[in-house]
A and B are shown apart, each in its own frame.
Chain A
Amino acid sequence: MPRTVNASRQTRDLLSTFLKDPKAWRHGYELSKETGLKSGTLYPILMRLSDQGLLESRWRDAEEPGRPPRHIYRLTIRGAAFARRLASESDTQLVYDMTRRVKA
């Protein structure tokens, strides 16, 4: 049974990166550079999202000759909806925290 997607900071960062352009395909190294996540953190998250059906993947031929094909990823429709919901919850929490600080 796939593990439940958690809402860790790293997962949120990755999902928000995908949300910048939900229809674009991205490869692992590009995601690592954009999110600042190392491969040891990035790939377990990608695997989990894929298990949950929130991420789709495919192979693309390399642009440079002699290089291996690349595995590329993007959010599924369900994944994009989940990412947007998570992002709006984060914004709500952020506003709540700021309000509390102002009151304090």
Chain B
Amino acid sequence: MRISATALPGGRAAWGVAMQSELGHIKNDHEALRWACGCLRTSALESFRAGTLLDFRLVRWSIALWAMYRATDDLCNTCLVLSYKFPHLWLPPIFAHCVHGDDYQQLIPLFNATAGWEVAVCLLSGALYLLAIVSLLRRSCYAAAFFLPALALNFGLWLYELGKPLYAQLFSLGDFAQEALVYLTTALLSWILWRGARSPQPAHRQSNPRH
């Protein structure tokens, strides 16, 4: 109940106290637990509506971790393709070893079919995710401005690759479903960031020159 009371946006603090005090009058433990869970749902809902979910460090760090996963995926894919196409370039040996002689062999046709602009787009989206991470951890309102374009580039590239016959040959329906779930999750997180950017900043944050 303390968590749900503190999770409410500032203007709803009195309601948090009201929900908490009501709990003190419920004698049945099972009902009290259900009451408390409902209050937690209320807090999350109101926080989301007010766009204040980003005020919580756990939320910011979770989104930052997810962005790091996406950035790593993009940058590793870029390095894989580049290390295959340009073996004379010095790139971390791990990428070269990944290309030679193990199951990355099956991806070689895909590497051959990957155009330079696709590599550039992948690199750009990875860089945007990294910028989003920095903005998010600095509690800057520009995190959404980096995260959303990164998602758009990523998703657009994925749709383009889906159109390649090679994709259907190399990847299963399960792989497709997994990728779709990743994009859905990323879209949800970008929505949270976008709402957070749209919500009015509290006075103490407005005076901070970083924002």
Q: Are A27 and B45 in contact, with the CB atoms below 8 A?
A: no
Q: Are B25 and A40 in contact, with the CB atoms below 8 A?
A: no
Cβ of B24 < 8 Å from any Cβ of A?
yes
- Majority secondary structure of chain B interface residues (helix, strand, loop or mixed): helix
Cβ–Cβ < 8 Å partners of B19 in chain A: 28, 39, 43
Cβ of A41 < 8 Å from any Cβ of B?
yes
Looking at the complex, which one of B25, B34, B40, B42 makes contact with A62 (CB distance below 8 Å)?
A: B25
Please encode chain A, from 40 to 78, with 1 for each CB lying within 8 Å of some chain B CB and 0 for all others.
Answer: 111110110000000001000010100111110000000
A75 to chain B, nearest CB (A): 17
- Docked complex Cα distance between A71 and B46 (Å): 19
Cβ of B164 < 8 Å from any Cβ of A?
no
Q: Are A67 and B42 in contact, with the CB atoms below 8 A?
A: no
Interchain Cβ contacts under 8 Å between A and B, 8 examples: A28-B18, A42-B38, A43-B38, A43-B39, A67-B24, A67-B25, A68-B24, A70-B22
Q: If A43-B15, A44-B46, A47-B15 touch, does A69 touch B21 (CB 8 Å cutoff)? A: yes
Contact-size category for B? 20 to 34
B18 to A, closest residue via Cβ: A71
B206 to chain A, nearest CB (A): 20
Q: Are B25 and A29 in contact, with the CB atoms below 8 A?
A: yes
Please encode chain B, from 22 to 47, with 1 for each CB lying within 8 Å of some chain A CB and 0 for all others.
Answer: 10111000000011011111100110
Cβ of A38 < 8 Å from any Cβ of B?
yes
A62 to B, closest residue via Cβ: B25
B20 to A, closest residue via Cβ: A68
B39 to A, closest residue via Cβ: A39
Q: Are B22 and A28 in contact, with the CB atoms below 8 A?
A: yes
- Docked complex Cα distance between A28 and B19 (Å): 8
Q: Are A29 and B26 in contact, with the CB atoms below 8 A?
A: yes
Q: Are A71 and B22 in contact, with the CB atoms below 8 A?
A: yes
Looking at the complex, which one of A29, A44, A64 makes contact with B22 (CB distance below 8 Å)?
A: A29
Q: Are B38 and A47 in contact, with the CB atoms below 8 A?
A: no
Closest 5 CB pairs of A and B: A39-B38, A40-B38, A71-B18, A40-B41, A68-B21
Cβ–Cβ < 8 Å partners of A67 in chain B: 24-25
Looking at the complex, which one of A44, A68, A70 makes contact with B42 (CB distance below 8 Å)?
A: A44
Please encode chain B, from 113 to 147, with 1 for each CB lying within 8 Å of some chain A CB and 0 for all others.
Answer: 00000000000000000000000000000000000
